[in-house]
């Protein structure tokens, strides 16, 4: 807890603590001080906003009593915290200083939460285990679940927390405690988000040490609770979840709140499972400075809230109980105001982020996956075109082999997703009654069997659950390698994939990171899979800073690139083309347990001098076919470049080739318009204009989704004939 500066002497003896939920008189004074400090910091920020010294304000007013109580019941730097934007008071109680909070408001370089990258009240504090928070409501829940899972994992296998050289583990300090609690909070409105329910479901099912706190101020901006929540009371709705301890409390009363949290935290620390504390609070100020609640709340209603104000009520309580007299209150308040004045003066004068510093920490500053660290030789090197004799293993085989090798090498790897386990009812597996499934494409086959159900397991059928938990686990230092069964179903996880996973490092100014791997089965050419087992859409993710995107076209590359993905220190989306999993094209012998390919290094599949094709994924074999034909029939020599990784991508390989051939086709399976090729084509036009003898050409899918009937599917997706036609046209230009 934050220490008080010159605390006023208690006017009453401390031996009445029984009456006060075990809290001494001094502790009660501390509580009042923290509540008052929180409120006055909000007031100061409102003033600073009016003076245009800060640029946004959202207050924690009305929530202070509940939150100071929560902070007192928990342990900073020991427990873990996912507090939402109203949680100023819990952060102060844990030890974040007034000065640090004001540094955040001004966007100072030394703001511990984000170094000026995020709005105020987006808490984060590495030393105190307050994990970087964001603006999308509800994304914190599944991460908190993953965080709790990681704590449990490390507690059960402490040896796995050891640092190891040569991969991401070198840069991650892992700490854990067997009885730690993960605190996560939200408002009443946010309980309507699906991820909230997904998190309750998993925390309940796995009996995880998560403390869920709902701060019910009856409004989500202007929307009253009965509109968002069936029956208007979330406590009634959650009661069916097993293993939970539930409490509902007047969150404007610090002592009642403290009692509720103390019991809840004891329940969790004893290993019984999660707890849910529903605190009824007030919102005496509008939602934020951008909102005027008079537009939707009449004076009469606002008045009933103001009468419940926790600050004035607790002040009266202290006086009534003889703990502080009016003079004591006065001294305390003056002291707080002095502290705020001093903190505010310093914060307003604090150094701002350096211009140009925005570029820092999009990716790991410690480990660059495109560096030579990730360049190793295959034990049995196999050029792609060597022929069937050497090409024994499929892409599916070598992806599976890579995961098996890496799980052996790195005990922090966990795998989960839909159907990835061999058999969740593991007794069947142990009794050898069943062989096991191991993924709908069998990519994870045998891994649960070999590494156990705590490292390889099925998730609920919920994609946000998969990615959100992975974010939380990776933040703590585990290496989740999760699977999204079909790219077409990635969208429920989009919030986590766009706003969370790739942003944890940047938005926390490198205080936190989340280098998880998300494997996704992607693509069409399946004959019968469409619409919803055939989509591509990789450009949506290459358009997301912080995310590495990999898209191999053959077994060897898949093996080497997945190993780089797993060992590196950045989040990676690893796109596996379903059609390529078991193709004859691109099979290869097993390259050994340390084979790695750096990101951003294209492969020249076939050298040529008349025309360049830049592509990746399942278009590689199709382009190869077309290139062989045009060589045979027209003696046109095509240089075929397989990008292999899409972010980063190998611009040098493209530029070198275009300088040589002066003609270029950019081809991909995803639809033409706004596709990945648009960026490459634009950059070629911009930077290589003088090298070109012909316009940049693109070959891609039609601008629709993919259809089921094979005639339509063939027509929609780019075929070898389409590539051939484009090559003929371009070479004749």
What string of DSSP letters covers 38-53?
Answer: HHHHHHHHHHHHHTTS
Distance CA 17, CA 38 (A): 24
Closer residue to ligand TPP (CB): 143 or 534: 143
Pick from 133, 190, 542, 612: which binds ligand TPP (CB under 6 A)? Answer: 190
Closer residue to Mg ion (CB): 181 or 220: 220
Pick from 62, 112, 187, 438: which binds Mg ion (CB under 5 A)? Answer: 187
Q: What's the closest the beta carbon of residue 138 comes to ligand TPP, in angstroms?
A: 6
Q: Three-class SS string for 659-719?
A: HHHCCEEEEEEEECCCCHHHHHHHHHHHHCHHHCCCCCEEEEECCCCCCCCHHHHHHHCCC
Distance CA 256, CA 21 (A): 8
The torsion angles phi and psi of 279, rounded to 5 degrees, stand at -105, 130
Question: Binds 136, which of ligand TPP, Mg ion, none (CB < 5 to 8 A, cut-off by type)?
Answer: ligand TPP
Q: Which stretch binds ligand TPP (CB under 6 A): 100-108, 134-142, 506-514, 681-689?
A: 134-142
Q: Is 221 in the site for ligand TPP (CB under 6 A)?
A: yes
Give the residue closest to Mg ion by C-beta. Answer: 187
User: One symbol per residue from 147 to 186: x for binding Mg ion (CB under 5 A), - otherwise; what is it?
Assistant: ----------------------------------------
Closer residue to ligand TPP (CB): 190 or 647: 190
Strand partners, 277: 213, 247
Q: What's the closest the beta carbon of residue 135 comes to ligand TPP, in angstroms?
A: 5
Angle at 488 between CA 482 and CA 491, to 5 degrees: 70
Distance CA 534, CA 531 (A): 6
Closer residue to ligand TPP (CB): 86 or 479: 86
Q: What's the closest the beta carbon of residue 122 comes to ligand TPP, in angstroms?
A: 11
CA distances in angstroms from 444 to 164, 439, 441, 599, 696, listed in the order given? 25, 6, 8, 23, 41
Number of residues that bind ligand TPP (CB under 6 A): 15
Q: Which of residues 9-28 bind ligand TPP (CB under 6 A)?
A: none
Pick from 180, 188, 309, 410: which binds ligand TPP (CB under 6 A)? Answer: 188
Cβ proximity of 333 and 311 under 8 Å: no
Closer residue to Mg ion (CB): 188 or 488: 188
Cβ proximity of 83 and 91 under 8 Å: yes
List residues with catalytic annotation: 533
Q: Is 188 in the site for Mg ion (CB under 5 A)?
A: yes
Q: What's the closest the beta carbon of residue 217 comes to Mg ion, in angstroms?
A: 4
Q: Is 193 in the site for Mg ion (CB under 5 A)?
A: no
User: One symbol per residue from 83 to 122: x for binding ligand TPP (CB under 6 A), - otherwise; what is it?
Assistant: ---x------------------------------------
Strand partners, 280: 216, 250
Cis check for the bond before 430: say yes or no (omega within 30 of 0): no
Beta strands in 88-189 (DSSP E): 182-187
Question: Binds 137, which of ligand TPP, Mg ion, none (CB < 5 to 8 A, cut-off by type)?
Answer: ligand TPP
Q: What is the largest CA-CA distance in the chain?
A: 100
Closer residue to ligand TPP (CB): 219 or 261: 219
Q: What's the closest the beta carbon of residue 464 comes to ligand TPP, in angstroms?
A: 12
Q: Which of residues 628-657 bind ligand TPP (CB under 6 A)?
A: none
Closer residue to Mg ion (CB): 133 or 615: 133
518 half-sphere exposure, CB direction, 13 A CA radius: 34
Cβ proximity of 111 and 104 under 8 Å: yes
Q: What's the closest the beta carbon of residue 388 comes to ligand TPP, in angstroms?
A: 52
Pick from 93, 140, 185, 217: which binds ligand TPP (CB under 6 A)? Answer: 217
Q: What's the closest the beta carbon of residue 58 comes to ligand TPP, in angstroms?
A: 8
- Crossing angle of helices 64-73 and 25-50, in 10° steps, is 130
**Positive/negative CA dihedral, 34, 37, 43, 49:** negative
Which residue in 570, 562, 561, 566 sits closest to 502, CA to CA? 570
Pick from 74, 131, 147, 186: which binds ligand TPP (CB under 6 A)? Answer: 186
Closer residue to Mg ion (CB): 219 or 541: 219
Q: Which residues bind Mg ion (CB under 5 A)?
A: 187-189, 217, 219-220
Q: Which residues bind ligand TPP (CB under 6 A)?
A: 86, 135-137, 186-190, 215, 217, 219-221, 287
């Amino acid at each position: 807890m934050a220490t008080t500066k010159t605390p006023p002497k208690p006017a009453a003896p401390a031996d009445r603590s029984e009456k006060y939920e075990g809290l001494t008189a001094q502790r009660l004074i501390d509580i009042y001080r923290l509540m008052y400090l929180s409120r006055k910091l909000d007031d100061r920020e409102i003033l600073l906003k009016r003076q245009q010294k800060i640029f946004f304000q959202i207050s924690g007013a009305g929530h202070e009593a509940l939150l100071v109580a929560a902070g007192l019941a928990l342990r900073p730097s020991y427990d873990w915290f996912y507090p939402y934007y109203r949680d100023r008071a819990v952060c102060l109680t844990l030890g974040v200083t007034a000065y640090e909070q004001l540094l955040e408001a001004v966007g100072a370089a030394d703001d511990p939460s984000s170094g000026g990258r995020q709005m105020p009240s987006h808490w984060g504090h590495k030393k105190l285990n307050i994990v970087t928070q964001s603006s999308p409501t509800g994304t914190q829940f599944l991460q908190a679940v993953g965080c709790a899972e990681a704590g449990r994992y490390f507690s059960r296998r402490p040896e796995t927390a050891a640092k190891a050289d040569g991969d991401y583990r070198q840069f991650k300090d892992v700490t854990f405690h067997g009885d730690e609690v993960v605190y996560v909070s939200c408002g009443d409105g946010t309980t309507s988000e699906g991820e909230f329910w997904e998190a309750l479901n998993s925390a309940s099912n796995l009996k995880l040490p998560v403390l869920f706190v709902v701060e019910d101020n009856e409004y989500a901006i202007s929307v009253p609770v009965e509109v968002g929540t069936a029956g208007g009371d979330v406590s009634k709705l959650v009661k069916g979840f097993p293993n939970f301890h539930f409490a509902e409390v007047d969150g404007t009363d610090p002592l009642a709140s403290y009692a509720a949290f103390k019991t809840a935290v004891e329940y969790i620390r004893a290993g019984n499972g999660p707890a849910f504390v529903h605190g009824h609070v007030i919102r005496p100020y509008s939602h934020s400075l951008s909102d005027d609640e008079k537009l939707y709340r009449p004076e009469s209603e606002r008045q009933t809230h103001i009468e419940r104000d926790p600050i004035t009520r607790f002040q009266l309580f202290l006086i009534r109980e003889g703990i502080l007299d009016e003079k004591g209150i006065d001294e305390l308040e003056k002291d707080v105001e002095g502290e705020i004045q001093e903190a505010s003066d310093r914060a307003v004068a604090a150094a701002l982020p350096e211009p140009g510093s925005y570029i820092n920490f999009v990716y790991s500053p410690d480990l660059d996956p495109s560096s030579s660290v990730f360049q190793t030789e295959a034990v049995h090197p196999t050029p792609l075109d060597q022929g069937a004799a050497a090409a024994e293993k499929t892409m599916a085989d070598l992806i599976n082999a890579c995961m098996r090798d890496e799980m052996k090498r790195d005990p922090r790897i966990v795998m989960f997703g839909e159907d990835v386990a061999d058999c969740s009812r593991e007794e069947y597996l142990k009794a050898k009654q069943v062989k096991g499934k191991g993924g709908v494409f069998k990519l994870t086959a045998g891994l649960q069997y070999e590494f156990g159900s705590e490292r390889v397991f099925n998730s609920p059928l919920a994609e946000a659950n998969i990615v959100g938990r992975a974010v939380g686990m990776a933040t703590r230092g585990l290496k989740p390698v999760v699977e999204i069964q079909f790219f077409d179903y990635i969208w429920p996880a989009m919030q986590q994939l766009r706003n969370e996973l790739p942003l944890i490092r940047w938005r926390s100014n490198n205080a936190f990171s989340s280098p998880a791997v998300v494997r996704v089965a992607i693509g069409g050419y399946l004959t019968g899979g469409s619409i919803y087992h055939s989509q591509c859409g990789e450009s949506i993710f290459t358009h997301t800073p912080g995310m590495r995107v990999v898209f191999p076209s053959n077994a060897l590359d898949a093996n080497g690139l997945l190993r780089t993905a797993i060992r590196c220190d950045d989040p990676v989306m690893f796109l596996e083309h379903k059609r390529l999993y078991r193709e004859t094209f691109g099979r290869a012998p097993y390259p050994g347990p340390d084979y790695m390919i750096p990101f951003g290094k294209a492969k020249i599949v076939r050298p040529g001098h008349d025309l360049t094709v830049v592509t990746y994924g399942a278009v590689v074999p199709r382009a190869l076919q077309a290139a062989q034909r045009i060589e045979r029939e027209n003696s046109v020599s095509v240089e075929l470049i397989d990008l292999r990784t899409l972010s980063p991508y190998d611009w040098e390989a493209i530029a070198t080739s275009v300088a040589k051939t002066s003609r270029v086709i950019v081809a991909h399976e995803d639809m033409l318009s706004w596709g990945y090729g648009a960026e490459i084509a634009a950059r070629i036009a911009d930077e290589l204009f003088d090298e070109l003898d012909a316009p940049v050409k693109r070959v891609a899918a039609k601008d629709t989704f993919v259809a089921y009937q094979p005639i339509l599917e063939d027509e929609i997706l780019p075929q070898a004939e389409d590539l051939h036609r484009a090559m003929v046209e371009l070479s004749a230009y």
